[in-house]
Structures are given as structure tokens and as C-alpha cells.
Amino acid sequence: MTDDDVAAVVIDNGSYKIKAGFAGDDCHRSVFSTVVGRPSRPAYQVSDGDHKEFYVGDEAQHRRSALNLNYPIEHGIITNWDDMEKIWQHCFKDELRVDPADHPIIMTEPPLNPKMQKEKTVQVMFEKLNACAFFLALSSKLALYASGRGSGITVDVGDGVSYAMTIYEGHCIMPATRRLDFGGRDLTLNLQKLLHEKGYDFVNYCK
């Protein structure tokens, strides 16, 4: 197999969900929660006998009643790099079942993220996951390309970030970009607060 035959792995690195697949496919291969859970009580009490120090993605969601959940991305910014690395390892090993050393990787990020975040992401990919090639792309630009257009305005409302970006002939017009660190998670928390005032209660926003 030549280098031209190796499909790039594409990861949409969302605050709440990871979508992953291969370039050229019609749709993603895997969608799972961007979460790491650790037992909130001794491991032997975590229901199904599959005792681990931590659970990733949907495994964590299925056992959330017995776990402390951590979402390592807040408002588009990675706040826990150890847990983020665990999620990426899970993505490659358990979801896509590929070695990062064998496939180029394209990962999305929202616009106007700090430079330090970009540098740390690249560092983890090459030094911890041994990626053979890596490119960090703006999610809005990839979304526009997927529609077959090179110019347009993209609007994205995610779990932690909302933004609008103007793209002209493949170039992002950064002065016209607007980002708001507010998204679906904030709406959910506000709804939870309103329901709590009406007498309904929840342990956390994902329940």
C-alpha cells in the first residue's frame, strides 16, 4: 500500500461529542461522548464487573450513576490534557481501530482559539500519539468545503461555543468572525435551573 492509498483520519473534536472517520467516506465511522469517568466509590461497587480506573466516551455515559464525569473541553478550550489524551487514544484504538502512526490526521477546532492550545494539541499528537502527519483545521471551513462551496458564511452552535465566520474563495475573513463562548450546554444548564425553580431536580446537566 502506497502513501496515496492511506486515508486520512478526520476528527471533529467537539466539547460534547467526538465524530471520527476517514476522508472520502460519506459519513463518520464513530460518534461518542467527549467525557472521561472515574468511579465515585470503590471499583468493586461499579455494577457490571468490568472494573477500570477510568471509562471513556459512551462507556462512561452508560455508567454515569457510579462515576464522576469530566468533560475535558470547556467552551472549545481543552482544560484537562490528560483526559483529552485518553479520549484521543480511545478514538484511535477502540473506535477506529487504527494506529496514528499509519494515517495522516485532520482535526477540527473552532476559530479564535489561543495559540497555546494549538501548539499543545500538535505536541500531544506527535509526541504522545506518534502521529505520522497532523493538520489542525477550522471546522467552519471544512463544513463549507463539504457543501461544495468555496465562499459563504458558516454559523455553528455547538455544546460550548457558537460562532459565525465569513469565508471568501477559501480564505477565512478573521476580522468578520464572531465567537461567543456560549452553547448548548449553557442552554441546558439554564433550563435545568428553571426546572429546579419549579420543583424538579437533577444531579448534573447530563442527567
- Higher-confidence residue: 19 or 147? 19
- Across the range 103-123, mean pLDDT stands at 96
Q: What is residue 6's three-state secondary structure? A: coil
Q: What is the CA angle 159-69-46, rounded to 5?
A: 145
What is the reported pLDDT for 48? 55
Residue 202 scores a pLDDT above 80: no
Q: What is the CA angle 98-132-97, rounded to 5?
A: 5
DSSP structure string for 10-70? EEEE-SSEEEEEETT-SS-SEEEES-EEEESS-GGGSTTS---S-EETHHHHHTGGGEEEE
Query: Residue 47: which pLDDT band, with cuts at 50, 70 and 90?
Result: low
The grid coordinates of residue 17 equal 461529542
What is the reported pLDDT for 3? 53
Query: Residue 201: which pLDDT band, with cuts at 50, 70 and 90?
Result: confident
- Across the range 84-96, mean pLDDT stands at 97
CB 67 within 8 A of CB 59: no
Third-level CATH fold of 3-34+71-146: Nucleotidyltransferase; domain 5 (3.30.420)
What percentage of the chain exceeds 90 in pLDDT? 71
Select the highest-mean-pLDDT range: 117-131, 147-161, 172-186: 117-131
Residue 181 scores a pLDDT above 50: yes
What residue segments make up the domains of the chain, in order of their start? 3-34+71-146
- Higher-confidence residue: 51 or 131? 131
The grid coordinates of residue 160 equal 460550548
What is the reported pLDDT for 24? 87
Q: What is the mean pLDDT of the chain?
A: 90
Beta bridge partners of 107: 11, 136
What digits encode the pLDDT tens for the residues 66-83? Answer: 899 999 999 999 999 999
Going from the C-alpha of 138 to that of each of 178, 192, 204, the distances in angstroms are: 14, 31, 31
What is the reported pLDDT for 1? 43
pTM of the full structure: 0.86
Helical (H) or strand (E) element with 74: strand 73-74
Q: What is the DSSP letter of 7?
A: P
